Structure 1
């Protein structure tokens, strides 16, 4: 496609399926005028549920419409060059091949300890370089040696898969991310410790495609229920809170407002008990609950609420640049939805880019919103800051 944005992909698949705009609109439950604006790139799909219906009407996946290529960069080239080696390491583990660890448990533990700050900084180029050998060594250590060594390796494997899946998702390798999440989940089941099972449950949930909203919702509730009756430790409460946030987002995607509100309320109550948590790089606490509430408002087409949610929120209370950047992206998307606050939305996207450049430039949602604003602004020659931002994040 000469100009690649979501609306152009909608038009491409519509024509490939031999559908008129009117027919597509009827199949997806929207107006022909809305489809026309989407294809022209002057309006985003405001609701995640509508996006799922649109993809279904076109008989494609949501990823086929949203996984847009990002701008070329040396960092991206480094990260992408490691994907074949990561795939090979995942297949070795998935197929249960016997391999020998090149490093000791202590050496591997030191590498895993360094993942969290690198992940928080959204340095996918650095993370991806570590993954092939780390995954292979953890698989080897989890299958050899005494029971204590194997159990320690299994915990490290579950912890590592959180960073691995995040890295792979931001490289548009969703299928590999799901394989990594499944391997982490299998390790947690073998470990048989409720806390790490909960972490693995959460990691698996965030890798499931948008079309799996019903499954995601059910699995999130089941996982939260398992932990809610558990030890009540701060760590368990943090994991349970993240599971309730995942359930809330899935319920919002299913347009179940009552269930969304119920899970958000449980998450808020848990956050009041835990404060700002740091367990397993989940960053659960009052600030992250507000971040998720912002994401949900955007996903349900209620972008006008992001200002209200932001009152009293201090993003810097979270020690994670990638989470803060995600929040600034969602805040900008919410403002862009209103079509009345583009200048403030641009400022939020720029703040996200300054906070975590790779996270922002690899965000399909950020590129789609910025592209939409750019196409709307072209009638008025656009603004310099918007044009410069669009160029940096790969929007034509």
Structure 2
């Protein structure tokens, strides 16, 4: 368990970083208020840590005003506390994963033994294993397996021909998707963007139109993350148009359609367009009703359960705590649902309670998320900022040890 002495090495608050970015531009607080559209009083509270700077739309507004990347405000990536051995193991592998990503498209120069080991059924099993570990939020074990798996998949894609080559690239795409999600969970945004590019390129080589369209879900997410809502929207609209041109009406196509409507809803929510967000959520609900089951096509979870989860996520993104809490009371996430996704849902529920003025309920949701997925929860920017503000605006609480595990002063 982290010791009190760990506090000396804890990161600054989002508010402190915001103030430092402002000072670098030689702006006073009034100038930042004018450029961002917030009041002077709000800017002061954000910088003092008296108002939570955790919502994506708020961070994006400041990052656009200051012409910086959102992670310069959130402080990502984070280093796990010294006693979080699994977290340190997960972080330690990021360099090896980065090297594997850089090798994409380069000659693999495999040894004869590596070529002899190329067996697609075995590789398919290994890809399923590593993605299963990711869904379980077992980041340390995922990190242990990913670098060598990516190398073996790259060799397979290079030496295979015909249908085997297309199958190898399909597996490589899944491997890159796993790497992307793993890196995002650790706050390695730049490396995750590199992985997203590899997903797009390798998907094209599969010659599977649905696989290519699915990859655009992540491409849209890259622009959404930096507040380029028009570009993200254009990618989403293009993907939905492409889906309409694909022949047939199989469940994979239907699932992808629903997933893109959810992405569109998130894009509009972060752009503070509630009406458009609600419209796309409603369309996703209709698609989920047509589908009638939860699916995980192309690593994109979609179905009635995921739509219910997003019905909480979207009001959280817009700071509507009361609506999110009310909606959460109706949601029942099955125990067999992936811990990774259940954890994200619990984090959203915690933030909803915080916005609704229920700090004890927020702590309970966060600690349940930590029980399911310790590293995913402790490295989450929204959890860190929310807990930091709750501690700053309250006296010592029974939850201080949890805050220390997050690395929050």
1:119: which partner in 2? 134
Per-residue displacement from partner, 1:257-279 (whole Å, max 9, x unpaired)? Answer: 33212211111111112222233
- Equivalent residue for 1:225? 241
- Provide the C-alpha distance between the structure 2 equivalents of 1:341 and 1:34, rounded to a whole number of angstroms: 21
Say which of 275, 285, 310 aligns to 2:328: 310
Q: Distance in 2 between matches of 1:33 and 1:287?
A: 40
Q: Which residue of 174, 178, 182 maps to 1:163?
A: 178
Matched, 1:342 2:342: no
For residue 75 of structure 1, what is the aligned residue in structure 2?
86
Structure 1 residues 98, 115: closer, same or farther in 2, change over 3 A?
closer
Q: 1:205 to 1:106 in 2, by over 3 A?
A: same
- Report what 1:384 is aligned to: 398
CA contact (8 A) 1:287 1:318 kept: no
TM-score by length of 2: 0.90
Equivalent of residue 45 in structure 2, options 34, 37, 46: 37
Rate the CA distance shift 1:142–1:302 in 2: closer, same or farther, 3 A: same
Contact kept, 8 Å, 2:14 with 2:53, in 1: the verdict is no
Separation in structure 1 between the aligned mates of residue 64 and residue 367 of structure 2, nearest angstrom: 33
Per the alignment, in what secondary structure is the counterpart of residue 242 of structure 2?
helix
- Count, aligned residues: 390
In structure 1, what is the equivalent of residue 101 of structure 2?
A: 90
Out of 119, 127, 135, the residue aligned to residue 150 of structure 2 is 135
Q: Map residues 54-65 of structure 1 onto 2, 5 A cutoff.
A: 54-65=62-73
Is 2:303 aligned against 1:289? no
Deviations 1:107-140 (A, max 9, x none): 2222112123201111111112222221122122
CA contact (8 A) 1:189 1:197 kept: yes
CA contact (8 A) 1:76 1:125 kept: yes
Q: Which runs of 5+ in 2 are unaligned?
A: 1-8
Deviation at 1:59, TM superposition (A): 2.4
Query: In the alignment, is residue 24 of structure 1 matched against residue 32 of structure 2?
Result: yes
Deviation for aligned residue 1:318: 5.7
1:54, CA displacement in angstroms?
0.9
| 98-107 vs 118-127, greater mean Cα deviation | 98-107
> Deviation digits for residues 311-350 of structure 1, max 9, x if unmatched?
3211126621011110111111122123x21111111111
SS of 2:264 mapped into structure 1: helix
Match of 2:3 in 1: none
Match of 1:177 in 2: 192
Task: Report SS of the residue matched to 1:278.
Answer: strand
Higher mean alpha-carbon deviation, 148-157 vs 290-299, is at 290-299
Maintained 8 Å contact 1:247/1:260: yes
Contact 2:54–2:386 (CA<8 Å) still a contact in 1? no
Q: CA RMSD in A?
A: 1.9
The answer (yes or no) to whether the contact 1:120–1:322 under 8 Å persists in 2 is: yes
Q: Does 1:266 align with 2:283?
A: yes
1:189 maps to: 204
> Secondary structure at the residue paired with 1:161?
helix
Length-normalised TM-score, structure 1: 0.93
1:136/1:3 CA distance change after superposition, 3 Å: closer
Q: Which runs of 5+ in 1 are unaligned?
A: none
| Mapped partners of 1:301, 1:3: distance in 2 | 25
